[in-house]
A and B are shown apart, each in its own frame.
Chain A
Amino acid sequence: MSATARSIAVGEGEVTLESATAEVTTRVCPNGPVLVRGADAVRDEDGTLHPATRPVVAVCACAKSQRMPWCDGTHKVVRRG
């Protein structure tokens, strides 16, 4: 369930995880975001770096969030009833 990965698919695109250590883990939540532990920041496709300020962050995978790259719960409105 957890794996080390350096990039996450977001809709058609992807974001890159930046970390000073090798210990980044990701966990895909079905119909939801990807939980990321151990990343210092997420770099989006424009090259903008978004620092991770909490011990675990949720990276939006549905591309519908209004706070990219972070999940804001919008996936529920989009995919679920």
Chain B
Amino acid sequence: MHLPAPRGPLSAHLVDVLAGEVVLDATSVAAARAAAGTSAPLTDDDLHLSLWMLYELHYRGFDGVDDGWEWEPQLLAVRRELETVYERALRTACRKAVDAGVAAAGPDADLPEQLFGLVSSFDGPSLAKHLHREATAEQFKEVLVHRSIYQLKEADPHTWTIPRLPDGPKVALVELQYDEYGAGRAHRQHAHLFAEGMATCGLDRTYGAYVDAVPGLTLALSNAMSLFGLHRRLRGASVGHLAALEATSSLPCKKYVGGIRRLDLPEEIAEYFDEHVEADAVHEQVAVRDICGALVEQQPELRTEVLFGAAACLLTDSLLAEHVLTSWQLGLGSLRQPQQTEAVA
């Protein structure tokens, strides 16, 4: 994967650092602090592209970039500045949704009921509904481009959490992830099914191919998972995030399939969503009960963290849906325009 086109002072600096053109020094942390001062920490382009780059060092890395950067203390200091503001913004933005979910589940509810209560009481626009009934084929492909940022590494962020869980929830998470990775069949791996679907729709299936095309809030969605996955401290949020992801999938995926059939898009992309109708009906129960429920039974202090992670999933997803639907209502595309991509380069 190539380094992305920068979107502001910090990402420009980090691209130069990783490419070996400038040295990393105290000015880097100062630049990170400045970027972290953004008034829109949930969506800011420079902040989220920078954070995404730093996280990708832990996944696949970049062409021509030394793998040793992954654990470079000064780079981690930069990352921490960004993570601190993003995490704080997520916690603030999620508080109301968590309270509403807990209230909806009632006073005697256990954690699984609270998680389902949170998911069903969360108020957000439905992208699936629009894709089902109204979207054009071009709009459908735009959504695939947004989704490709996470879907091409589907399941990977939550895999970081496996060794951080006690035995029971760990076994359940491995069971779930095994299914995400194709249950022993490479061609059934979900990330692979998505890549196949993209390719048959005429899109570039290469990992990271569309990073320059997606707005900060799409990167933020992926960054939330990486943030939770890479910190043991946030293991509760990580599994809560997974539970919400799985619990908001089956029914919407059925609508995606309906939209694909209506638009006569290739069978391969229908296959990806079709697999998720059935798989995620299983995964949501495993994630909510056998992972999150069992974890909180053993470690009750993680309850609010699990709910926070779930709300963060719903929130980041709804920010993307809102952006996409609003862009379309205005007759615009939801991806970054080429001039926008070049102007800051």
Q: Which residues of A contact B (CB under 8 A)?
A: 27, 29, 32-33, 35, 53-58, 66-67, 70-74, 76-77, 80-81
Interface pair A35/B286, CB less than 8 Å apart: yes
Given the complex, which residues of A lie within 8 Å of B183, measured CB to CB?
53-55
Report whether B120 and A54 are in contact in the complex, using a CB–CB cutoff of 8 Å.
no
A72 touches B277 (CB 8 A): yes
Q: Which of B116, B120, B179, B277 contacts A67 (CB 8 A)?
A: B277
**Are B285 and A76 within 8 A (Cβ)?**
no
Q: How far is the CB of B271 from chain A (nearest CB, A)?
A: 14
Task: Pull 9 A–B residue pairs with CB atoms less than 8 Å apart, ordered by A.
Answer: A27-B290, A55-B183, A56-B179, A66-B254, A67-B278, A70-B281, A72-B278, A73-B254, A80-B116
Contacts of B290 in A (CB 8 A): 27, 35
Asked if B178 lies at the interface with its beta carbon under 8 angstroms from chain A, I say: yes
Q: Tell me whether B279 is interfacial, beta carbon within 8 Å.
A: yes
- Distance A33 CA – B250 CA, assembled complex (angstroms): 13
Q: How far is the CA of A77 from the CA of B280 in the complex (A)?
A: 16
Taken together as a complex, chains A and B put the C-alpha atoms of A57 and B175 apart, in Å, by 11
Extra inter-chain contacts (13) besides given A55-B175, A58-B282, A72-B254, CB under 8 Å = A33-B285, A54-B179, A57-B282, A70-B278, A71-B281, A72-B250, A72-B277, A72-B278, A72-B281, A73-B277, A76-B251, A77-B251, A81-B120
> B289 within 8 Å of A by Cβ?
yes
B175 touches A56 (CB 8 A): yes
Q: Which B residues are in CB contact (< 8 Å) with A27?
A: 289-290
Interface size on B, residues (CB 8 A): 20
Cα distance A80–B116 in the bound complex, in angstroms: 10
Distance to closest chain A CB from B174 (angstroms): 9
| Most chain A CB atoms below 10 A, which of B250, B278, B279 | B278
Q: A29–B289 contact, CB under 8 A?
A: yes
Q: What are the residues of chain B within 8 A of A71 when measuring CB–CB?
A: 278, 281-282
Bound Cα distance from A24 to B286, whole angstroms:
16
A29–B120 CB distance below 8 A? no
Name B285's contact: one of A35, A67, A72 (CB within 8 Å).
A35
Q: Which residues of B are found within 8 Å of A55, using beta-carbon distances?
A: 175, 178-179, 183
Residues on the B chain within 8 Å of A81, using CB? 120
B-chain residues with CB within 8 Å of residue A66 when the two chains form the complex = 254
- Complex Cα distance A33/B286, Å? 11
Given A53-B183, A80-B116, A80-B120, CB of A73 within 8 Å of CB of B289: no
CB distance from B238 to the nearest CB of A (A): 20
User: Whose C-beta in chain B lies nearest to the C-beta of A29?
Assistant: B285
| Minimum C-beta distance from B209 to chain A (A) | 30
Q: How far is the CA of A53 from the CA of B282 in the complex (A)?
A: 12
Residues of chain B lying within 8 A (CB to CB) of residue A74: 251
A60 to B284, CA, bound (A): 14
B279 contacts which chain A residues (CB < 8 A)?
A: 54
Could you tell me which residues of chain B, from 283 to 311, have a CB within 8 Å of some CB in chain A?
284-286, 289-290
> Which of B120, B251, B254, B282 is in CB contact (< 8 Å) with A56?
B282
Which of B178, B250, B282, B290 has its CB near the most chain A CB atoms (within 10 A)?
B282
